[in-house]
């Protein structure tokens, strides 16, 4: 049985997201995954804006996408995110984009997020409270 996706958002494909090849440009998928990641951070109450008094901020260290099918306008995409690995100073998130029009997964991806001190940029250990909030959101 597949693990649940604690975060899912719906995005409408915009005409302007199409490129010269007649499908949604590859960079749009990164924005979809970014939106899901930020929604996940908001659910965790992780600081995502400059000016907060957070001890650690999430910094995107790696991102990868596997494109499964082209997406064209008009379409509605369900974008889901979850965390699959917790490290000492980082965690891995995975993403899935599903086309309502095609009724299939059109892209999957992953990223590594490192927690860093907002002033020095030095890696910070994952706070035990953050670990607990992730476990709760993930239903572990």
Residue 33: give its domain's CATH number: 3.10.129.10
In this structure, is residue 80 part of a structural domain?
yes
Residue 101: inside a domain, yes or no? yes
Q: Would residue 132 count as lying in a domain?
A: no
**Would the pLDDT of 20 be above 80?**
yes
Residue 25 within any structural domain of the chain: yes
Please state, for a pLDDT cut of 90, what percent of the chain lies above it.
Answer: 87
pLDDT given for residue 52 in this prediction: 72
Number of domains in the chain: 1
78 is in which domain, residue-wise?
7-126
Residue 73 lies in a domain: yes
Q: Which of 67, 64, 73 is nearest to 24 (CA)?
A: 73
pLDDT in tens, 96-118: 999 999 999 999 999 999 999 98
Question: Would residue 133 count as lying in a domain?
Answer: no
Asked if residue 2 has pLDDT above 90, the reply is no
* The dihedral formed by the CA atoms of 85, 113, 48 and 35, expressed in degrees to the nearest 10: -80
pTM over 0.85: yes
Mean pLDDT of 51-60: 86
pLDDT score of 137: 96
pLDDT at 1: 63
Which pLDDT score, from 0 to 100, does residue 55 have?
86
In a domain? residue 2? no
Q: How far apart are CA 119 and CA 41, in angstroms?
A: 20
CA dihedral sign of residues 48, 50, 53, 57: positive
Q: Is residue 136 domain-resident?
A: no
């Amino acid at each position: 049985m597949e693990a649940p996706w604690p975060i899912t958002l719906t995005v409408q494909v915009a005409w302007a997201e199409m490129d010269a090849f007649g499908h949604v440009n590859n960079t749009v998928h990164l924005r979809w995954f970014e939106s899901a990641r930020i929604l996940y951070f908001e659910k965790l109450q992780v600081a995502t804006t400059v000016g907060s008094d957070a001890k650690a901020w999430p910094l995107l260290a790696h991102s990868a996408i596997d494109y499964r099918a082209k997406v064209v306008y008009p379409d509605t995409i369900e974008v889901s995110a979850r965390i699959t690995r917790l490290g000492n100073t980082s965690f891995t998130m995975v993403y899935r984009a599903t086309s309502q029009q095609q009724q299939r997964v059109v892209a999957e991806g992953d990223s590594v997020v490192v927690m860093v001190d907002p002033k020095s940029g030095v890696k910070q250990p994952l706070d035990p409270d953050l670990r607990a909030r992730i476990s709760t959101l993930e239903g572990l």
